[in-house]
């Protein structure tokens, strides 16, 4: 019997811990959930742009080879440091081709001495992953010295919060001490996403470069992001571009923006083994995001149209309670099998509030939790005016005073003093009566 009780107790503990862990943040990696299958990648991370939550991750702080994901940082710096992308014309210098000669690396066929606008160079950089475009932009912004541009790249990466990143080149070809992490690449991709005009470039599947002195006719450059090409076997309608990278030393990498039902996520896959499929990171991205969109969604813990709670009101003859509404919408990712009751609320409210109250007054806050993880906080506001009654105020203040220990002590002492005074009056009056009687007898 004792053995059975112990077994049942252990089973109950396991079930409770399992249920809690399903909605709690992992202490080891910061991800809210775990995938129940293996992913072909050395590291990956999925982050909601709507809430900032890390949903899935594996080895996201490990230092790994970015390959051409490097060009996201190159593009970010170029777009930040060049004010007029269309009006800034840049000549491809001969010197940058020495490094790239004979490497058979990705190119947009930009030739020595060719003049292109900064925006067209960005298209060449981000769509076909042109290494010469990276070096041309870096040479221009670095005032003829690519090392100057590298210093800017690393400085800007630190400003974005990158702690496991170091760039030693601007294109991503293999060099020593050139590394990033999946989490840092998410930070860089997020900064790119927030840069005006960036998404217009990376969501294109192709772009026409014009004829010039080096090219007799216009020609198209194509995006390497096959997941947004409807004719590709890797196509997913939720992918909104970004950047690929590939080197023998790391395999296939892919950073993508994924959007479904107006929910936006950044997915980073680094180090997918591409010996069997050279586009392995596309397969891994689809595996992760297909599973996510099928099983999870962004849910709202509150709404500004419905009250969250109520609080008692003093000194008003209109009402003794007032409804409170959350002023900030709080959202979080939940399994589709869960509902909004999964959110736990912790109120920070006074026991009561005093009239008068005006619409928009803040009287407290509410915190929303999933398990032990705080996912958001909202101020609690009044949505109506509540007038104060002078009579209710006077009565209330008297009741407050009467209920206080100080008042009751003073009242008791006063009553005792009055009683003593009355007793003294009685005694004095009796003495006076006796004296008067004695005088009359005489």
Is the distance from CB of 135 to CB of 146 less than 8 angstroms? yes
Q: What six digits make up the tokens of 286?
A: 């689809």
**Which has the minimum average pLDDT: 19-23, 281-285, 305-309, 327-331?**
19-23
Length of the chain: 442
Mean pLDDT over the full length of the chain = 87
Is the distance from CB of 365 to CB of 379 less than 8 angstroms? yes
Distance (Å, whole) CA 358 – CA 374: 30
Structure confidence at residue 303 as a pLDDT band (50, 70, 90): confident
Sorted by sequence, the CB contacts under 8 Å of residue 16 that are 6+ apart come out as: none
Sorted by sequence, the CB contacts under 8 Å of residue 264 that are 6+ apart come out as: 48, 49, 50, 257, 258
pLDDT for residue 411: 61
Residue 328 has pLDDT above 50, yes or no: yes
Phi, psi angles (nearest 5°) of residue 259: -130, 130
Sorted by sequence, the CB contacts under 8 Å of residue 112 that are 6+ apart come out as: 92, 93, 94, 97
Distance (Å, whole) CA 215 – CA 420: 116
Nearest to 96 by CA among 148, 137, 151, 150: 137
Grouping H, G, I as helix, E, B as strand and the rest as coil, residue 111 is: coil
Distance (Å, whole) CA 53 – CA 102: 44
Structure confidence at residue 106 as a pLDDT band (50, 70, 90): very high
Distance (Å, whole) CA 135 – CA 246: 18
Alpha helices in 22-145 (DSSP H): 70-81, 97-100, 118-126, 131-141
Residue 381 has pLDDT above 80, yes or no: yes
**Which has the minimum average pLDDT: 50-59, 141-150, 305-314?**
305-314
Q: What six digits make up the tokens of 41?
A: 């990648």
How does pLDDT run across 245-274, given as a tens digit for each residue? Answer: 999 999 999 999 999 999 999 999 999 999
How does pLDDT run across 127-169, given as a tens digit for each residue? Answer: 999 999 999 999 999 999 999 999 999 999 999 999 999 999 9
Residue 392 has pLDDT above 70, yes or no: no
List, in sequence order, every residue forming a beta bridge with 134; answer none if it has no partner: none
What is residue 246's DSSP assignment?
Answer: E
Q: What is the pTM of this model?
A: 0.79
- Reported as half-sphere exposure (CB side, CA atoms, 13 A), residue 339 has a value of 1
Is the distance from CB of 178 to CB of 66 less than 8 angstroms? yes
Grouping H, G, I as helix, E, B as strand and the rest as coil, residue 393 is: helix
Region 406-416 average pLDDT: 66
DSSP string across 309-354 = EEEEEES-SS-SEEEEEESS--EEEEETT--GGGSEEEEE--SEEE
Q: What six digits make up the tokens of 151?
A: 């210093």
Region 7-25 average pLDDT: 36
Is the distance from CB of 267 to CB of 41 less than 8 angstroms? no
Rg (CA), the chain: 36
């Amino acid at each position: 019997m004792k053995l059975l009780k112990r077994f049942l107790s252990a089973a109950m503990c396991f079930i409770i811990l399992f249920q809690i862990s399903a909605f709690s943040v992992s202490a080891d990696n910061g991800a809210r959930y775990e995938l129940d299958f293996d992913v072909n990648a050395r590291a990956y991370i999925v982050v909601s742009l709507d809430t900032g939550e890390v949903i899935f991750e594996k080895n996201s702080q490990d230092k790994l080879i970015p390959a051409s994901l490097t060009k996201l940082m190159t593009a970010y710096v170029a777009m930040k440091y060049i004010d007029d992308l269309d009006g800034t014309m840049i000549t491809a210098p001969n010197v940058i081709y020495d490094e790239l000669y004979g490497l058979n690396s990705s190119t947009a066929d930009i030739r020595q001495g060719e003049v292109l606008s900064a925006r067209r160079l960005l298209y060449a950089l981000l769509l076909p992953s042109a290494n010469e475009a990276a070096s041309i932009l870096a040479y221009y912004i670095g005032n003829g010295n690519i090392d100057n541009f590298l210093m800017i790249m690393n400085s800007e990466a630190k400003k974005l919060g990158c702690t496991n990143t170091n760039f030693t080149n601007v294109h991503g070809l293999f060099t020593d001490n050139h590394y990033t992490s999946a989490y840092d690449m998410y930070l860089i991709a997020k900064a790119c996403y927030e840069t005006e005009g960036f998404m217009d470039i990376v969501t294109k599947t192709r772009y026409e470069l014009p004829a010039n002195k080096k090219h007799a006719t216009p020609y198209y450059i194509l995006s390497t992001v096959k997941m947004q090409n409807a004719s590709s076997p890797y196509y997913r309608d939720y992918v909104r571009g970004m950047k690929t990278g590939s080197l023998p030393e790391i395999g296939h990498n892919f950073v993508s923006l994924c959007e479904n039902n107006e929910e936006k996520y950044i997915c980073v896959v680094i180090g997918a083994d591409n010996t069997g499929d050279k586009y392995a990171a596309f397969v891994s991205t689809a595996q992760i995001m297909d599973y996510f969109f099928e099983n999870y969604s962004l849910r709202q813990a509150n709404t500004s149209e419905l009250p969250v709670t109520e609080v008692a009101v003093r000194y008003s003859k209109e009402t003794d309670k007032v409804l409170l509404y959350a002023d900030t919408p709080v959202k979080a990712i939940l399994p589709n099998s869960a509902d909004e009751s999964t959110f736990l609320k912790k109120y920070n409210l006074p026991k009561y509030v005093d009239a008068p109250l005006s619409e928009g007054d803040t009287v407290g806050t509410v915190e929303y939790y999933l398990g032990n993880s705080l996912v958001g906080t909202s101020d609690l506001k009044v949505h109506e005016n509540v007038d104060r009654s002078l009579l209710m105020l006077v009565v209330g203040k008297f009741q407050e005073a009467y209920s206080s220990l100080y008042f009751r002590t003073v009242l008791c002492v006063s009553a005792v003093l009055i009683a003593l005074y009355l007793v003294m009056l009685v005694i004095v009056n009796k003495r006076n009566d006796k004296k008067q009687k004695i005088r009359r007898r005489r």
